[in-house]
């Protein structure tokens, strides 16, 4: 893609800010973030139970050129991710955008159709040959016409139909929720391999005044599930280091949260806040990391209250799409304090838990999410300056540590904003499985300003890990589809440990020399 001259770019930026200067959100109102969430599968989303009004229609029917382009290319990449091109569009001509979009659509459709045909042929061959090979089962032989054992995972990695980057889409890809299982309550028998480390944590928790540096060292390499809830609450700053004050703080903060519910939650249908709450209602059922869990009405209501109260209390940003994802790890970790079910792969009815237990999980999730966002709130304020700076820093870092990849992206016209915006906005939650996100957050919590600073080095290590795959892609759409749907579905602690070790090396090299990452004027 051809880029505009620097003078034209400045004029475009100036025009952009003038055009949008009147769109600063009111306190508690919503400012949507493109790329953070998948758009609804149909344009007019009816929210159950929402008060209907005669004038409940868009007041401005005027649509800009990018919105028209967006609607024409909604299936080109991960739904919702092409929205982030609005910011990158400042440096692109609309003609080039349309041209590239058509190429992307054609290639994507051809590859998808080819993959579907191949899968159907394999299924037909398997069905036809099953009767012919019945007599060979005893000795393990197979018919010459029988294809080798195969699965959709033999397709190129970036076309994996269920990769976490693509997300588990409600009603798409043949997704079926896990079978319902009964709740298994937590016991006091930790695995033997974790027993020694758990004892170290418990001894540290009992100290009258806990040393945070000791706790961080212990947490950096991962926290056992049995002690993770307490460790996260302390590292988040929600619980104090003084052991004798923790229970008092917990009771007071939980009471304070439900006081906010009583005070503010009834305002969600008022004209000033209704768009904020409407967007929250749309986003929660579409959250992909635990699609089955977020279909339970009690869970949806918990997230509705958490997100709405946070938005009301933080008018500088209000609710922004992407913040809803950041509640999930806290919710799952604090839920694990009471049940042993693996929420990522099991579907259990959380109404089996008492209302008191669910209230405790809700309040603790709210406060810990609030503490996290306090450190990265510039990611979600107007124009999202925090994300813009991090994307630019990532670009400069890759330029220094992986010049071939950087040059390849430049030659193919791939902007870092087009794929790394979501990495910064959602803290890689859409790129890796939930179990890996929780392991990653163990280290983020252990690092000072981990979510704000160390995340940059993790993103650089993450991109560098797939450098060879990206270099094998020789066109714009191939690179972008790879980077938006990276093959991490089967990642475990091993892969995360390798990623974090590489990120730590980068931090050691560059954190004490930040001027190396400053953009050249």
Euclidean distance between CA atoms 171 and 174, whole angstroms: 7
Half-sphere exposure of 69 (CA within 13 A, CB side): 20
Beta bridge partners of 92: 3
Task: List, in sequence order, the alpha helices (H) in 412-513.
Answer: 416-425, 434-446, 455-465, 467-471, 476-484, 493-510
Instruction: Pick 392 or 49 by higher pLDDT.
Output: 392
* CA geometry: angle 290, 291, 293, nearest 5 deg: 70
Distance CA 506, CA 124 (A): 50
pLDDT value, residue 220: 96
Query: What span, in angstroms and rounded, lies between the C-alpha atoms of 443 and 448?
Result: 10
**Cβ-based neighbours of 234, under 8 Å, separated by 6 or more:** 205, 210, 212, 215, 240, 241
**Integer Cα distance of 451 and 515 in angstroms:** 20
Name all contacts of 29-32 with Cβ < 8 Å and 24+ positions apart: 29/272, 29/273, 29/275, 29/276, 29/318, 30/275, 30/276, 30/279, 30/311, 30/318, 30/319, 30/320, 31/317, 31/318, 31/319, 31/320, 31/380, 31/382, 32/279, 32/320, 32/321
155: its two tokens: 């397709």
CB-based burial of residue 135 (10 Å sphere; 0-12 exposed, 13-18 middle, 19+ buried)?
exposed
- What is the pLDDT, as a whole number, of residue 162? 37
Q: Give per-residue pLDDT as tens, 196-206.
A: 899 999 999 99
| Joined tokens for residue 496 | 């995360």
Least confident of 148-152, 244-248, 340-344: 148-152
Residue with tokens 């392991």: 439
Confidence (pLDDT) at 146? 36
Report which of residues 175 and 172 the model is more confident about. 175
Q: Read off the DSSP letter of residue 322.
A: T
| Residue 300: how many other CB atoms lie within 10 Å | 17
pLDDT band at residue 265 using 50, 70 and 90 as cut-offs: very high
The sign of the CA dihedral 262, 268, 270, 276 is: positive
Percent of the chain with pLDDT over 70: 62
* pLDDT value of residue 288: 63
Residue 215 has pLDDT above 80, yes or no: yes
Mean pLDDT, range 376-384, rounded to an integer: 89
* DSSP structure class, residue 163: -
* pLDDT for the residue numbered 104: 59
Decide if pLDDT at 168 tops 90. no
φ/ψ of residue 347, rounded to 5: -115, 110
- pLDDT one-digit tens code per residue, 108-126: 666 666 666 666 655 555 4
């Amino acid at each position: 893609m051809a880029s505009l001259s620097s003078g034209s770019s400045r004029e475009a930026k100036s025009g952009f800010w003038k055009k949008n200067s009147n769109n600063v959100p009111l306190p508690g109102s919503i400012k949507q973030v493109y790329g953070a969430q998948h758009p609804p599968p149909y344009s007019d989303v009816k929210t159950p139970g929402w008060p209907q009004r005669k004038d409940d229609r868009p007041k401005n029917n005027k649509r800009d050129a990018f919105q028209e382009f967006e609607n024409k290319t909604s299936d080109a990449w991960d739904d919702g991710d092409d929205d982030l091109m609005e910011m990158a569009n400042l440096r692109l001509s609309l003609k080039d955008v349309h041209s590239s979009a058509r190429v992307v659509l054609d290639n994507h459709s051809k590859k998808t159709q080819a993959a579907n045909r191949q899968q159907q042929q394999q299924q037909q061959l398997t069905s036809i040959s099953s009767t012919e090979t019945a007599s060979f089962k005893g000795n393990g032989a197979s018919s010459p016409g029988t294809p080798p054992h195969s699965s959709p995972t033999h397709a190129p990695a970036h076309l994996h139909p269920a990769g976490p980057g693509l997300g588990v889409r409600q009603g798409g890809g043949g997704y079926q929720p896990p079978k319902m299982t009964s709740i298994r309550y937590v016991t006091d028998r930790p695995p033997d391999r974790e027993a020694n480390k758990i004892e170290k944590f418990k001894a540290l928790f009992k100290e009258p005044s806990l040393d945070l540096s000791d706790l961080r060292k212990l947490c950096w390499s991962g926290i056992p599930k049995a002690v993770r809830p307490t460790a996260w609450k302390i590292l988040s700053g929600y619980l104090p280091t003084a052991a004798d004050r923790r229970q008092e703080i917990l009771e007071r903060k939980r009471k304070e949260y439900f006081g906010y519910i009583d005070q503010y939650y009834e305002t969600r249908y008022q004209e000033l806040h209704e768009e904020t709450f409407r967007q929250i209602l749309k986003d929660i059922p579409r959250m992909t990391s635990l699609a089955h869990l977020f279909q339970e009405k009690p869970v949806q209501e918990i997230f509705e209250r958490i997100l709405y109260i946070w938005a009301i209390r933080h008018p500088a940003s209000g609710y922004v799409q992407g913040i809803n994802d950041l509640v999930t790890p806290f919710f799952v970790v604090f839920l694990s304090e009471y049940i042993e079910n693996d929420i990522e792969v099991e579907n259990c009815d959380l109404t089996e838990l008492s209302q008191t237990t669910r209230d405790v999980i809700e309040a603790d999730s709210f406060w810990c999410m609030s503490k996290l966002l306090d450190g990265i709130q510039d990611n979600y304020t107007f124009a999202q300056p925090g994300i813009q700076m991090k994307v630019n820093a990532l670009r400069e870092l890759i330029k220094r540590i992986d010049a071939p990849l950087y040059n390849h992206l430049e030659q193919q016209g791939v902007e870092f904003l087009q794929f790394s915006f979501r990495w910064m906005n959602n803290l890689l939650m859409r790129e890796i499985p939930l179990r890996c996100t929780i392991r990653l957050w163990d280290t983020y919590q252990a690092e000072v300003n981990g979510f704000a600073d160390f995340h940059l080095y993790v993103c650089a290590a993450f991109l560098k890990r797939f450098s060879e795959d990206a270099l094998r892609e020789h066109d714009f759409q191939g690179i972008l589809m790879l980077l938006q749907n990276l093959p991490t579905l089967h990642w475990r602690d091993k892969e995360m440990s390798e990623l974090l070790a590489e990120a730590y090396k980068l931090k050691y090299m560059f954190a004490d020399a930040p001027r190396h990452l400053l953009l050249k004027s």
